[in-house]
Structures are given as structure tokens and as C-alpha cells.
Amino acid sequence: MDEQELERITGGDPVKGVIVGLGAVESGGGKEGYWLLAKSYFTLGLYKDGILALKEYLKQGGDEEKIRELIPLLPPDAQRVFEKKPAKKEVKEGEFDGNAFLEMANLLWDIGSPEEAKQNYLRAFECFIDEGNPEKAEEILAWMKERFPGDPDIASLSVPKESLFDKLSSIQFPEDPEREGEVRLRIAEKMHEEGMIKHAVSELEKVIKIKSPARTRAINLLYDILRDREKGRLINLFEEAASLPLTDEEKLNLYYKLGMLYEEEGRKEKAEEYWRWIYTRKPDYMDVKERLRKEKKEAKVEEKPVPVLSVPVKKVGEENIQFL
């Protein structure tokens, strides 16, 4: 299935495009899947993810022209990276430029002086590279290889140019954490609906690390997904999240859920630590007051009466004594 066929399945929805692209990659249609992923991520504004997808597309032999179709989806500054040409070296008055050396080389070739022609072709080749004209340098290199087949000086030549992969790697994108958090949460919700649990969890982990209003909703969804599947992993993820610079409301929500998880694990002392932290800051938060009261009741040790001996202790020297 080619890129266009995959794109038709999405109906123009970039979130669905991420789902379809990942599905294609995992089912063996890697190259086309990566292209669709890149287009979908660019459309959603997740440019770094899109660049990573394009790099994989290139590694698998993707068509550079197909990549250039996606350049208009990038921010203007990023688009300009693909338009840049090497800086031209200024030719001073009285110096030969590439065209002058090329003209001289052709003339020498025509009059039967191949060695002198070769030297001028080489100078023309170097000049065009310095002048920022790699296309013309490639053209001259092709002529030289045709006219001087097997010449070691020419066989080793190449036109240095920045690859598309290098250009992709050099792009810097502005960060918009609020927007990124919302977009990633949308993707995670769709992945959850489609049963792509591993990918949904991965996206939610990213949202939690972003300073975004979507963080609390991501924590809640992650709790719902992993609570019955991987409670231990969920606790670890939430403990890591607790070290982030969270808002007060985010902490209350996260700590409450950690308390719930530890309670379900039977680690009541650890759960109580979180309940108390919440209670000291917001006593009426959720049912924390009731939970602490319950823990206190369960922690009380009931006093048991001292047992009364039913058989008397005999003193030394006493014989059988009957007790009524």
C-alpha cells in the first residue's frame, strides 16, 4: 500500500493518520507508514516527531521528492533551510571565475591539448563549488569522467553537498508546550480507543512531563489504563511525576491517586503519608478526611482482658487441695 492509499484511509484526519501510520509500520509497511506519520505529525504541529519519522523514511530508501512535498507543512523558518544554497565566494576583479576556466578548458580541448584542458576543467570545477553552484560542478565532473576515463585525479572527485538527512537534523523548532500537551493527549485518547495501549501509555508519559493544562487529564487517563494492568509500573511512573515542578492542584490529584494505589497494594503506611500531605493542605479534598479516620480506627489496638487461670498454682509442700 503506497503513501496515497494510506492517506485516503485517514479521511484527512491527522490524528487518525498517526494511528494508521503506526499500524502500517508495525505490519511491515515501514517506508510508507513513516511518510504518513511525518505528514500527520507536521499537520498537528509535532514537528520533532515528524522529523524523526522522515529520517526513518530516508533510511528505508524513501523518495526525497516525496519528502519535499511535506516541506510546505513546516514553519517558514524551517522551510528556508531547504532553500539555502552554499554561500557564494566573491570573485575579485582580475580573477578567473568558473565560467572563464570552463571556456579556456573547452578551447584547449578543441585544439588538442587534453592535459592543459584537464587542469582548467579542474579549476572550473573548484570555482563552481566555491561559488555555490554544485549543479554546474556536477555537470563539469560528468564531462571530465567522460573525457578522461580512469583518470585517478578525476575518479576521486565528488561534489560536497549537504544531504537531505543533514538538513532535517539541523532544523530547530519553537516549543509550544501547552499546544503539544493537548495534541498528544488527543492522540493518546484515540490510541486508547483503538486498543493501542502501549502507544497510548507512551504518549501520556510525554504529556505528563510537559508543563501543560493537559497534564492532569493525562494522569487520570494513565491511571484508568494501567490501574488493573500494571499497578507497579503505574506507581513508578507517578512517583517519577511527583518530582516534577507540579502545580498545587496537580500535586493533590497525583498524590491522591498514589495514596489509592498504595492502599490497594496493602501498603497502608505509605498511603497514609499521601493522605496526610493532602489533609494538611486541603482537608476537604475528596474523601481524604474519611480515609484518615478509617486508617486511625483500624490502627487502634484493642485491649484484651488478662486471662484468669482456671487451674490453681500449688505451693511447695501442699498436697492435693480441693477447690470449690
pLDDT in tens, 271-287: 999 999 999 999 999 99
The CA–CA distances, whole Å, from 287 to 148, 254, 282, 283 equal 87, 15, 11, 9
pLDDT-based confidence at residue 324 (cuts at 50, 70, 90): very low
Domain boundaries, the chain: 3-81, 98-160, 177-299
Give me the pLDDT at residue 314, please.
45
Give the range among 16-25, 296-305, 306-315 with minimum mean pLDDT.
Answer: 306-315
Rounded distance between C-alpha atoms, residue 14 and residue 45, angstroms: 10
Mean pLDDT on 39-48: 95
Torsion angle in degrees (nearest 10) through CA of 172, 176, 177, 179: -130
Give me the pLDDT at residue 95, please.
64
Give me the pLDDT at residue 3, please.
67
> Nearest-CA neighbor of 31 among 5, 47, 50, 54?
54
Residue 8 has pLDDT above 90, yes or no: no
Class of domain 177-299: mainly alpha
Give me the pLDDT at residue 12, please.
86
Q: In the chain, how long is the greatest CA-to-CA distance?
A: 147
Q: Where are the alpha helices (DSSP H) in 47-170?
A: 47-59, 64-68, 76-81, 98-110, 114-130, 134-147, 152-155, 164-170
Q: Which helix (H) or strand (E) holds 240?
A: helix 231-241
Rounded distance between C-alpha atoms, residue 54 and residue 165, angstroms: 9
